[in-house]
Structure 1
């Protein structure tokens, strides 16, 4: 990348002038659009001296847009293929035959190295050799990222180069490397850093070869060594290697989800474990797949620990951070005064943190496992998940309530491997109230509703693993009540009331809160259009957007002209708002499990008022389909002349469906789709 001048001044001003000794030329980029090639000679607080062909030039800081200072990299002296002295690369380039398959690129070779040195530093490297096989793959193959925590490690690009079909080698320049903070604001959470590169001259037929590396200098009980790899790519991989190297008797352990045994080697007092995985197919696109770590080959490299010792180490640091102060005590007194029940107090404190502490920053595994002082969080008014949970925990304890900090692995990251204790698996903090209610102080989630259900985590007070509850389908239900008036001309008037519960309500709160009145109306119009493309919105109302203790509900009043089709003395229509598609179950089988994450229920009660004198000639039969994973029932009732009532209920009983059980899910969805395609026929008199 073009390095910022302020960064150069900070670095170079401490060393004074330096000799311009380079393996390649420097480039200075001027605001005027000019570029000068040569060598940087000297830099001060406000000026820069640069030696170019025309001599030594002086520039003011205000004239300069950026600098490109090439750094020595492995293999930079290679100009043609005959210069290459890397045995792995030479073998690949001489034996590789382009595959005759329709993919964007092919990973010819991927190697992950994890190295524990004698001085305690930890190094990890990843090398990728990749063949670009299609125009659509040029960018995806060349653009790559590498993340690290800047306060305890440093990362670099060891090399990045391309080999063209005509034998030309192109090496990366600093202009194609970018180092950015993933969370630049607020500054308190800015240590998660990302290296971004674009391998040069990525063209169809090129071979790209790049390597990242990180040296972690800080590793202790609260800054653990823990690296996870999931073998996933939308393109095929011919060979992938995982290698762990450490002194004999070292404390690194490896979890391999496949159970595959490694090759073992001892060399100069060091133990080397190697796993080789050949011919991995590209990741197949399927809907509702679980987190990749739950169904694809998965490796964890970490220090050997037990859960109790991990909790003990964290507890010592957490107890210091959550000590109450004067301001905090005042908050507790003001919020809980006069509240007799413990749950009332807990709810008041929860709603205070959720409303007054703005979410900011990364998850704790991308920042720190040590929470910020509770008083500091209270004053500054923003915090990441760990700091919000720690603040709530100390408020509750100060109020005399039973509260425990529990670190879980959020469901989107995959499940905890309980037999492989390591702090690095955990990335979300919750507060456990009275060993029965999990709390995640969030401005969109009500008391007792957590985003992560059936998620395993570590209790800091007991050192035991606990699991968040999996809520019942009704606790996660979406309930729709519809009153429909059909007229003889085929027009339809609808009043639709919808109530969201659980995580659905939390999602809608988060989505609706920032919308203006005009945007809320637009959202209501889009919801009406989902009922029917010709729907006209007459009125609408959203409720429960702000209050944490209320679920989101909305009401739509809609008219639809020509909803029913007139055929002589008959009217033909379909159930309004009932449209089930079997599109996503068109495939005969699945490669991967289905994961709906939570249980849930979708409930509809529809009352259809018929035109005066209309006779109901035909309507669909009742449907009932059940298996151990889902239950669907649809019933029609005609309680009196002129009215047809319809109710349906879909319940997700088990979120996870193994691929071999997919036919059961497919049968249920296709049955629902058939129902929604059957008409209702009326005869007018």
Structure 2
């Protein structure tokens, strides 16, 4: 008991002194000393610690951190709070307890954009400050873990940011404040100096515990806001946890253009006027949590969402993108010589395009850094090539130049992944066009290419922007237009199985899978995977084909070139594939037809379904029956037709060759399926699963 009391007292003193001494000295011996810096002279540093004043020569100090004062740092208990918003929010705590299954509750979340007029005398730009405040109640251990670390990003050199405050109110009413030693300033792209603009501030709320309240606020200052330095926000009014208040506020001073702000969303804003400001407010209260389900669609497709863009000017953006691309395509003798060597022996435009694409996709080093993080404009291709490194935008610009040297017309595309077409057409800010691609004209047809995704073949539009809007850019041409959809055949997998049954029910099996271009991406990775890992994959696949099946051999064809069809083949021996009933009867189920509708267990769902991509699958079974055996029972043909899915299975018998031929076709055409259509889809899935249970019976 005495030991427990001592530990409690020590803990209390640790917390108290942690608040009093919030500066940190990092000494050469490796020690970190918490203190309060009293004085810094030419040769020494004087500090106050829990043990009294101490003096250290500067030579013993590696570095020091000083906590700068923040608003509310003098609060020690709840009674000290003088922030009216926080006080009113604390009164809502009981409302959050109506969600007993929640991990945490967002009591308040507000984002505010405040703009300032440019100074007319020096033609300075429009500036802006974004302020983000969140007050969270921690309800259980999971909520504690999810809020134990916070971070936000901004872009140098024209953005700056800082944390205004971060404090924790514990269940006993004490208040603990952010210590600067709990801050981490990072440059996520520091290993790529050409693109090192992104900055991150990460911090840990102090003394976070269950039933505590975390109140934090940070701001980002935008030194320039215009069409070429885009500022935009997408806010979703909902989420996995309850939200008592979510609010977006925009303050626009009188004197800015009438169409300075563009917005689209679930409702118009409340509009106010105060002094010389126009204030727009979107807010919702008491938002219940939305639990994600299997294959849930993106939240903006079913939750209230607002898209807002500032200083949007499509014409200015398109002109600037066109000019920047013209400046980027400078070339160099070394680059031109490389292109000539690369294309030697390739004659047709399609062959040249495929060669250029494969070189950039597989051989040229690239990094996964988006256009926003490289300030939206490509570098000169001569610099890109000399550096030997390109981000997504620069790789696409380099491809445009190489196609130009090959005599192929091309466009640089800035594509959008915003699914709501009305949103992107109403708010066409450059911020929402962040997926670079290339379109190339072959035989008077535009083809589309994404060299950034390794092993994705040419001619494929990424799933996250297929069918969406894009900015089409060349030095002499600009347009905003919709991207087409990939052909359904690109998502196809055609599987053929040759099965030779013996009278004992054993089977020799040969399998062949042909992959469409989209589906081939994953298996193309096997060219860089150790052969032992590929062996293991095919052995596991054999075990899934039938219990006890033995893999005899396998091969993968076409993975060494991106413009070839990928085919996987294997041979198996499957013991007792057919079950015997005496000497005269054999029965078996079509292998690979098994389907378990585990993802469709719930009878209803609240959120729509979103499939990552369309699907097209065809499986063909060619089953050679044992000598003297004939089919006694063959399941009837089955057809399932929905708006979003078609499925069919047909089994026929050829007497001359004593062979069964079964063909199953399945096509998912729609990626988005509304929640109200789910019961029909679920019923179809269960019918489909039931088909896999059917037996084919043979009689001697």
Decide: shared fold, TM above 0.5. yes
Q: Partners in 2 of 1:208 and 1:272 — Cα distance? A: 28
Whether 2:511 is the aligned partner of 1:496: answer: yes
CA contact (8 A) 1:186 1:361 kept: no
Q: Partners in 2 of 1:111 and 1:325 — Cα distance? A: 51
CA pair 189-247 structure 1, distance change in 2 beyond 3 A = same
CA pair 499-540 structure 1, distance change in 2 beyond 3 A = same
Bigger Cα displacement from structure 2, 567-576 vs 84-93: 567-576
Deviation at 1:100? Answer: 4.4
CA contact (8 A) 2:490 2:519 kept: no
CA pair 552-172 structure 1, distance change in 2 beyond 3 A = farther
Q: Partners in 2 of 1:90 and 1:465 — Cα distance? A: 49
Q: Partners in 2 of 1:385 and 1:667 — Cα distance? A: 43
Residue in 2 that maps onto 1:322: 329
SS of the equivalent of 1:525 reads helix
CA pair 440-138 structure 1, distance change in 2 beyond 3 A = same
Whether 2:54 is the aligned partner of 1:55: answer: yes
CA pair 447-307 structure 1, distance change in 2 beyond 3 A = same
Deviations 1:266-287, CA, capped at 9 Å, x for gaps:
2231111111112222232223
Whether 2:40 is the aligned partner of 1:25: answer: no
Q: Which of the residues 614, 617, 621 maps onto 1:602?
A: 617
Q: Partners in 1 of 2:509 and 2:532 — Cα distance? A: 22
Residue in 2 that maps onto 1:71: 68
Residue in 2 that maps onto 1:6: none
CA contact (8 A) 1:310 1:463 kept: no
Q: Which of the residues 649, 654, 658 maps onto 2:674?
A: 658
Q: Which of the residues 301, 307, 317 maps onto 2:314?
A: 307
Deviation at 1:558? Answer: 2.4
Q: Which of the residues 357, 362, 380 maps onto 2:387?
A: 380
Residue in 2 that maps onto 1:11: none
Deviation at 1:68? Answer: 4.4
Which blocks of at least 5 consecutive residues in structure 2 are unaligned?
1-18, 119-125
Q: Partners in 1 of 2:653 and 2:530 — Cα distance? A: 42
Q: Partners in 2 of 1:481 and 1:528 — Cα distance? A: 15
Q: Partners in 2 of 1:630 and 1:48 — Cα distance? A: 76
Residue in 2 that maps onto 1:409: 416
Deviation at 1:386? Answer: 0.6
CA contact (8 A) 1:470 1:599 kept: no
Deviations 1:275-306, CA, capped at 9 Å, x for gaps:
11122222322233333333332223322434
CA pair 412-441 structure 1, distance change in 2 beyond 3 A = farther
Deviations 1:396-451, CA, capped at 9 Å, x for gaps:
22333211111101478999611222111101111221261112224412221232
What pairs with 1:211-610 in structure 2 (closer than 5 Å)? 211-251=217-257, 252-258=260-266, 260-336=267-343, 340-410=347-417, 417-434=424-441, 436-442=446-452, 443-452=454-463, 453-461=466-474, 462-509=477-524, 511-569=525-583, 570-610=585-625
Whether 2:693 is the aligned partner of 1:677: answer: yes
Deviation at 1:336? Answer: 4.3
Residue in 2 that maps onto 1:86: 83
SS of the equivalent of 2:91 reads helix
CA contact (8 A) 2:650 2:662 kept: yes
CA contact (8 A) 2:237 2:284 kept: no
SS of the equivalent of 1:395 reads helix
Deviations 1:215-246, CA, capped at 9 Å, x for gaps:
12133442212222233421111110000012
CA contact (8 A) 1:289 1:593 kept: yes
Superposed CA RMSD:
2.7
CA pair 39-652 structure 1, distance change in 2 beyond 3 A = same
Deviations 1:526-568, CA, capped at 9 Å, x for gaps:
3323324533322222222231112332122223334444444
What pairs with 1:147-162 in structure 2 (closer than 5 Å)? 147-162=153-168
Q: Which of the residues 178, 181, 184 maps onto 1:175?
A: 181
Provide the aligned length of Structure 1 versus Structure 2.
Answer: 657
SS of the equivalent of 2:425 reads coil
TM-score if structure 1 supplies the norm length?
Answer: 0.89
SS of the equivalent of 2:317 reads helix
Q: Partners in 2 of 1:167 and 1:292 — Cα distance? A: 36
Q: Partners in 2 of 1:39 and 1:426 — Cα distance? A: 48
Deviations 1:249-277, CA, capped at 9 Å, x for gaps:
4354142320x122222223111111111
CA contact (8 A) 2:226 2:311 kept: no
Deviation at 1:391? Answer: 0.8
CA contact (8 A) 1:608 1:645 kept: yes
SS of the equivalent of 2:316 reads helix
CA contact (8 A) 1:294 1:414 kept: no
Q: Partners in 2 of 1:389 and 1:56 — Cα distance? A: 58
SS of the equivalent of 1:503 reads coil
Bigger Cα displacement from structure 2, 261-270 vs 30-39: 30-39
Q: Which of the residues 651, 657, 661 maps onto 1:645?
A: 661
TM-score if structure 2 supplies the norm length?
Answer: 0.87
Deviations 1:34-73, CA, capped at 9 Å, x for gaps:
43232455599xx984635352123657x85x75432222
CA pair 618-410 structure 1, distance change in 2 beyond 3 A = same
CA pair 357-338 structure 1, distance change in 2 beyond 3 A = closer
CA contact (8 A) 1:113 1:244 kept: yes
Q: Partners in 2 of 1:545 and 1:340 — Cα distance? A: 23
CA contact (8 A) 1:183 1:361 kept: no
